[in-house]
Structure 1
Amino acid sequence: MPRMLPMSSKLGFGVGQVGEGITGVVFGTFLLFYYNQVVGISAALTGVALAISLACDAISDPLAGSISDRFRSRWGRRHPFMAGSAIPLALCIVALFNPPADMPDLFYFGWLVVFAVLARLFLTLYHVPHMALGAEMAHDYTDRTRVFSYSQLFGTLGGAGFSFAMLTLFFPTTADVSHGMLNAAGYPSFAAVAAVGIVISIGLCVWGTKREIPHLPTWNVEYERLSPQRLWREIVTALGSHSYRMLIFGLLGGQLILGIEGTFMIYIYVHFWELSTEAMRWLSPVMLLGVPISAAITPYLTQRMEKRTILILFSTWIVLNTNILILLRLFTDILPKNGDPALFYVLLACSLVTGLVAPAIMITFNSMFADIADELELRTGGRQEGIIFSARSFGFKASAALATILGGIVLDLVGFPKGAEAGQVSADILFRLGIVAAPATIIIGLANLLFFAAYRLNRAKLAEIKAELNQRRAGAAAAAS
């Protein structure tokens, strides 16, 4: 009978996701908008800068995974990297939103590249060991889903709550600016609060999970110098799993779509739907209403359904959710006009659906990656959670880098103006933006689900793998004694 994790360890692991949620809001919502609409450099140039940071970060993911997999210390394989990343990450976030004034665009481009690269590097040194730790702590098919349910719950609550608080405190609509997000004075304080939240979150995670260190699996592998050959061999070994490849390919496609959507989303809210800051700030809290339900029901569903089925059903739902509204606005008169409270309530309903569905997708994803660690151990004899989750992280970031470039280029191609005032963008430009944002996303997103349909590692197969691993470990223990 596998050891079930105590609640305190699940909570400790989960609270660590708050820092990642805050960082996700910083990069996904505020950073591109700040440098394009407030600092005033082009969307394409900003997109290239952020894509460079993501590309460098993606390269660092396998390195962090391989190093932490083989690391040995009295504090385990993962905790030293997690603890050491907190303060440097926080300082980089502060620097991103405090560039020197009155400098040329090329300087701001370089400033953004340097500190975005460093921020994402330190985030990797936390993220990859943190995800690997979750896979190591839980051993049961359903308990793994419970562990990642806590991390998804805290991450989503932290990110959405942080977004709501920042919009309320630092970006209210005033007589001086047409939209609160254009208030340059709010960004330094926003960055400082983000930095403090990141440090507290990571610190609580390290402290809350340290009791699990004696129970974590180890990999007693002979020392081998870090080299490109070693790293490539470990990655190829992990990709030898058909199910792992299908998850990675599906992840690449899905994140590319979501990344492009994320680049457009704040433009859609501010200019397409013409929501004020006071209205926008409620989208995240309403989404939060669905998150606890999603985190609670996903383990329940895992007990009764295959994880692959859950992933496909909920991914279909999320692809269609908000994009249907954009299509309805573009081609029909069904929706209420901008400024009508009824439209705001429709958008709130979509946000609630996102809160119900999106966390379940990520919980299931992470749980499936944890299952693959057992499959690889059976095949290779090694515990490579770090490599497994680093490739997952690489997939997120590489596709997000491409999405950021494409998103910035598309904004320039549709002729979206820099520093545009709310309500002043032409209808033709908004129509072109909507066409890119919705129909393409739906078509590509639904086609991408074919990768998930090809995933093979089900409950019965994993039970067989567990039984073989237990026999192998028992034999090794007997031989050692």
Structure 2
Amino acid sequence: MTATDSAGLPPRPPINFKTKALYGLGASASIIKQRGITTFLLLFYNQVVGLPPAMVSTAIMLALVFDAFVDPLVGQISDNTRSRWGRRHPFMYAAALPVSVAFYLIWNPPIGWEHEALFGYMLVCLLTIRLFDTFFELPSSALLAELTSDYNERTSIIAIRSFCGVAGGLIMQLLVYQVFLKKNPDGTGGLLERSGWEVYSIVGAITIFTIILISSSATHHQIPYLRKAPTRKITIPAMLREVGATLNNRSFVVLAISGMFMNVSLGLKTALELYFNLYFWGLTQGQLAIMTVTGVLASIIGVTLAPIIAGKIGKRYAAITMFFGAVIALLLPIGLRIIGVMPANGTNLLFGILILDFMANGIMAIMTGVMLQSMIADVVEDSEVKTGRRSEGLLFSADNLFKKIVSGVGVGVSGVLLTYVAFPQGAKPGAVDPDLLRNLALIYLPTIGAFYAVAISCLFLYKIDKSVHEENLRILQEGVLDARTTDAQIEAASPAATGPAGDLSPVTPRP
């Protein structure tokens, strides 16, 4: 008997590679949007449009915080939605047009507006993008735990999804460097040329729209085999009790805390990455394009190795090992430059070292991401054993909530750092004071390193390995709850919780 059968659903046919690949393709839409905002938006609005960096980073931070609080709401509503298209697909289809239009608009702000008006315009576009991207990405991510309960197959599907996301984002970034905003021999064009951003916005918007529809349609035939939302009335207090009971899971808590510290660093890293590449290392756009291609190759290697390594040593230790290696690869070149042992800018030796380091970081980073997403998926059954409810959307959204709140802090800090070191507006690569760049690096390294160290340490407390996961599946298949049933579940099933008003139907363990 399978877990799916025990839930009263028809036997699921095998999920073929085409379905897995097109499901995974959906990650490209979110990563194209995310990479555009995190990599280019600060540079675009600061150096091209002319907004102060602190103002730009503040708008990005506010949008991330907004998104963080929207995520659990969408996740909980998605978990409890009943429709002929199931719990997830109505939201996924609804996201396609609004997020694409908002993506186009954010790269085409009005000319001649005052700073305050441009700030408001950018913020509205960001909030719209974040809201409707959540409508797609959260339900799509939550589908993973429903498509398969197999411990290793989850890792392989996430590997495909991670590759599609990374490859899609890097390919679009490559097009920015080499097509939309290519630096011409006569000095025209480049990242500071405003007209190129319009072409990028059109192609990006159409790509996002198309990918969302294709990916959503690819899993549409799985709707009859997906979990159905329970038929019950639920009030806000009852919903909050359910949220608290679901999130009161040790393994989830340590993953969430790790993710918070990790995403502070990621927000800071991503916002300043282009500044370091252009000004600190003096790379050309052609070299950035080569690094982007290298990133695609690294993602292929990473997603290929991730299921193999996870199968041999387990997801937790694989995540810890790869995470540590990725951080070392990220920080080592900057540290070596500070102590004066890196080759000079503009030399082939320097670029060769950076390429090798970039590939090593990319391979280990994507492997880490695959492991962490698969570990979150394994919390779903662990939580169901404890609460009697399937809460994929809530768990993935809550994980995103904590990450996005602090990621906004990281982006905000990047603007503060640029302001603190008095980074010049309209700066040309090679013309920025080396002492200014050194000061930026000296602040950047210990800050980001400390946050990454905490994130890695938290992973040692995660407790769901393959044996625990298989035991959870056994319990659910047999329809038996063990002694780990929580007080919150008992309370939810009690007359006091349901009451004469019928605000919450009794929650029974779902086999």
TM-score bracket for the superposition, by shorter chain length: over 0.9
Is the alpha carbon distance of 1:270 and 1:351 closer, same or farther for their aligned partners in structure 2, counting shifts above 3 Å? same
Partner residue in 2 for 1:111:
121
Residues 32 and 43 in structure 1, CA contact (< 8 A), matched pair in contact too = yes
Partner residue in 2 for 1:74:
84
* Aligned partner letter, 1:327: G
Q: TM-score, normalised by structure 2?
A: 0.89
Residues 267 and 407 in structure 2, CA contact (< 8 A), matched pair in contact too = yes
How far apart, in 2, do the equivalents of 1:281 and 1:416 lie? 25
Shift in Å, 1:73? 1.3
> Identity over the aligned pairs, expressed in percent?
29
Partner residue in 1 for 2:453:
446
Residues 189 and 196 in structure 2, CA contact (< 8 A), matched pair in contact too = no
Q: Describe how 1:280-299 pairs up with structure 2 within 5 A.
A: 280-299=288-307
How far apart, in 2, do the equivalents of 1:178 and 1:193 lie? 21
After TM superposition, the structure 1 stretch with the greater mean CA deviation from structure 2, 3-12 or 181-190, is 3-12
Shift in Å, 1:176? 7.0
How far apart, in 1, do the equivalents of 2:182 and 2:69 lie? 38
Is the alpha carbon distance of 1:442 and 1:86 closer, same or farther for their aligned partners in structure 2, counting shifts above 3 Å? same
Q: TM-score, normalised by structure 1?
A: 0.95
How far apart, in 2, do the equivalents of 1:112 and 1:235 lie? 33
Partner residue in 1 for 2:442:
435
Equivalent in 272, 279, 283 of residue 275 of structure 1:
283
Q: Describe how 1:90-129 pairs up with structure 2 within 5 A.
A: 90-129=100-139
Partner residue in 2 for 1:477:
none
* Unpaired segments ≥5 residues, structure 1: 475-479
* Aligned partner letter, 2:242: E
Residues 68 and 77 in structure 1, CA contact (< 8 A), matched pair in contact too = yes
Equivalent in 295, 319, 331 of residue 323 of structure 1:
331
Shift in Å, 1:448? 2.5
Equivalent in 378, 392, 395 of residue 388 of structure 1:
395
How far apart, in 2, do the equivalents of 1:322 and 1:455 lie? 25
Structure 1's consecutive aligned runs of 4 or more residues displaced over 6 angstroms after TM superposition are none
1:257 matches 2:265: yes
Residues 63 and 231 in structure 1, CA contact (< 8 A), matched pair in contact too = no
* Aligned partner letter, 2:145: A
Partner residue in 2 for 1:347:
354
How far apart, in 2, do the equivalents of 1:168 and 1:273 lie? 19
1:424 matches 2:431: yes
Shift in Å, 1:308? 0.8
What is the RMSD of the two structures over their aligned residues, measured on CA atoms? Answer: 1.7
* Aligned partner letter, 2:447: A
Residues 13 and 134 in structure 1, CA contact (< 8 A), matched pair in contact too = no
1:163 matches 2:173: yes
Deviations 1:445-481 (A, max 9, x none): 123311101111111111111101000089xxxxx9x
Instruction: Determine helix, strand or coil for the equivalent of 1:324.
Output: helix
Instruction: Determine helix, strand or coil for the equivalent of 1:197.
Output: helix
How far apart, in 2, do the equivalents of 1:146 and 1:204 lie? 21
Residues 81 and 229 in structure 2, CA contact (< 8 A), matched pair in contact too = no
* Aligned partner letter, 2:417: V
Shift in Å, 1:423? 1.0
Residues 179 and 422 in structure 1, CA contact (< 8 A), matched pair in contact too = no
Residues 82 and 229 in structure 2, CA contact (< 8 A), matched pair in contact too = no
Is the alpha carbon distance of 1:177 and 1:419 closer, same or farther for their aligned partners in structure 2, counting shifts above 3 Å? farther
How far apart, in 1, do the equivalents of 2:238 and 2:126 lie? 28
Residues 259 and 400 in structure 1, CA contact (< 8 A), matched pair in contact too = yes
How far apart, in 2, do the equivalents of 1:404 and 1:140 lie? 37
